[in-house]
Structure 1
Amino acid sequence: MKKEDCFYLGKIVKKYSFKGELLAKLDTDEPELYDNLDAIFIDLRGNLVPFFIESSQLHKSDLLRLKLEDVLDESDADALLKCDLYLPLEFLPKLEGNKFYFHEVIGFTIKDKSFGDVGVIKAINDSTAQALFVVDRNSVEILIPMNDQFIVELNRGTSTIVMDLPEGLIEIYLNN
């Protein structure tokens, strides 16, 4: 399994018991969706390694208590501390309407209500306080804030996102 075929679920943050149980901090608004998993991928030195789950349960709202097969004691658990957890993309709940996953909209066309076709989303920059669509328009990079108030419609059938952007935002990039 390759990382690009998976999504980041969370990180193993500490041991729970002397029997090798672990606590994972989940990166989700709905941790209950991941309460009854059969298996999980753990990033061990850059490789995704599958682990079967003997038991799991939510612990203090956003932590998942895991008992993994072949993790029998504290030393086994120590080897997994601070490791990232991944699941295949097909485990993501389907989103509808204007809600989307970042990976899902790469390649979508951005259209502005007044400007028209802006360009194609080539990446998402989420390293800033405001996540940004990185849009390619004839080899010119345009950064557009991912603000719910700007998104009018997301159409998965036509791979387009219609936006109502502030006047002049796109022109800033084109008049250089």
Structure 2
Amino acid sequence: MKKDDCFYLGKIVKKYSFKGELLAKLDTDEPDLYDNLDAIFIDLRGNLVPFLIEKSQLHKSDLLRLKFEDVDTEADADALIKSDLYLPLELLPKLEGNKFYFHEVIGFTITDNNFGIVGKIVGINDSTAQALFEIDREGTEILIPMNDEFIVKIDRENETVIVKTPEGLIDLYLSE
């Protein structure tokens, strides 16, 4: 399994018991969706390794308590602390309407109600306070904030994101 075929679920943050149990901080708004997993991929030195889950349960709302098969000691558990957790993309819950996963809209065309076709979404920059659509318009990079007020519609059927940006925002990138 490659990382490109998976999504980041969270990180193992600490041990829970002396019997190899661990606590993972999940990167999700709905941790209860991941309470009954059978297996999970753990990133060990750049390789995704499958681990079977003996039992799991939510712990203090945003932590998932995990007991893996064959992880029975403190030393076994110590080796996994700070490891990232991944699941296959097909396990992501389907989103509808204007909710979307970042990876889902890469390659979509972005159209502005005022400007027209802006270009293709080539990436999402989420390293800033406000996540941004990275758009390629015939070699020119255009950044549009992923603001709920700007997003009019996600049209999955036609692979299009329709936005309504403030007047002049797109022109700023084209007036050079």
Q: Which residue matches 2:60?
A: 60
TM-score under structure 2 length normalisation: 0.99
Q: Which residue matches 2:156?
A: 156
For 1:23 and 1:151, how far apart are their aligned partners in 2?
36
TM-score under structure 1 length normalisation: 0.99
Q: Does 1:93 align with 2:93?
A: yes
What whole-Å deviation, never above 9, does each CA across 1:66-92 have from its counterpart, x for those lacking one? 000010100000000000000000010
Q: Which residue matches 1:104?
A: 104
For 2:85 and 2:112, how far apart are their aligned partners in 1?
37
Structure 1 residue ranges without an equivalent (≥5):
none
Number of positions where the alignment pairs a residue of Structure 1 with one of Structure 2: 176
What whole-Å deviation, never above 9, does each CA across 1:25-49 have from its counterpart, x for those lacking one? 0000000000000000000000000
Structure 2 residue ranges without an equivalent (≥5):
none
Q: Which residue matches 1:72?
A: 72
Report the identity percentage: 78
For 1:68 and 1:172, how far apart are their aligned partners in 2?
53
Q: Per the alignment, in what secondary structure is the counterpart of residue 90 of structure 2? A: helix
What whole-Å deviation, never above 9, does each CA across 1:45-66 have from its counterpart, x for those lacking one? 0000000000000000000000
Q: Which residue matches 2:15?
A: 15
What whole-Å deviation, never above 9, does each CA across 1:101-130 have from its counterpart, x for those lacking one? 000000001101011000000000000000
- Give the drift of 1:174: 0.4
Q: Does 1:6 align with 2:2?
A: no
Task: Give the root-mean-square deviation of aligned CA atoms.
Answer: 0.4
For 2:11 and 2:156, how far apart are their aligned partners in 1?
31
